[in-house]
């Protein structure tokens, strides 16, 4: 399990860099926290979908709050009320 966890974390960090570079999103909104590792498959798929949405200009800073694990920072309820919730 630890090996899978390290691999997913590495891939997620790679996607994180692409997200920041492609979208000019501040790193403070794109930290990967320990909560990301709780469900590795979900998290890897989620960051890939976020990256795709970012590249097609469908992402917003408030939606990126989900990546950072700051569930409370969602003033427009974007994560809970729109397609950005990939659960």
Domain ranges of the chain: 2-81
Tokens, residue 28: 């403070």
Residues 6+ apart with CB under 8 A from 83: none
The angle formed by the CA atoms of residues 36, 30 and 3, to the nearest 5 degrees, is 35
Cβ neighbours for 37, distance < 8 A, ≥ 6 positions apart: 5, 8, 9, 43
pLDDT at 69 (0 to 100) = 47
Q: Which of 42, 78, 33 is nearest to 60 (CA)?
A: 78
Residue 9 clears pLDDT 60, i.e. is over it: yes
pTM of the shown model: 0.28
Predicted confidence at residue 31, as pLDDT, reads: 41
pLDDT given at position 51 = 56
H or E segment to which residue 38 belongs: none
List pLDDT tens digits, range 38-85. 444 455 555 555 655 555 444 443 344 444 444 444 444 444 433 333
């Amino acid at each position: 399990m630890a090996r899978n966890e390290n691999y997913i974390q590495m891939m997620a960090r790679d996607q994180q860099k692409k997200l920041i570079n492609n979208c000019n999103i501040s790193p403070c909104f794109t930290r990967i926290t320990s909560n990301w590792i709780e469900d590795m498959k979900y998290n890897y798929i989620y960051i890939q979908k976020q990256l795709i949405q970012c590249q097609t200009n469908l992402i917003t800073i408030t939606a990126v709050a989900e990546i950072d694990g700051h569930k409370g920072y969602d003033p427009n309820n974007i994560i809970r009320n729109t397609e950005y919730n990939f659960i």
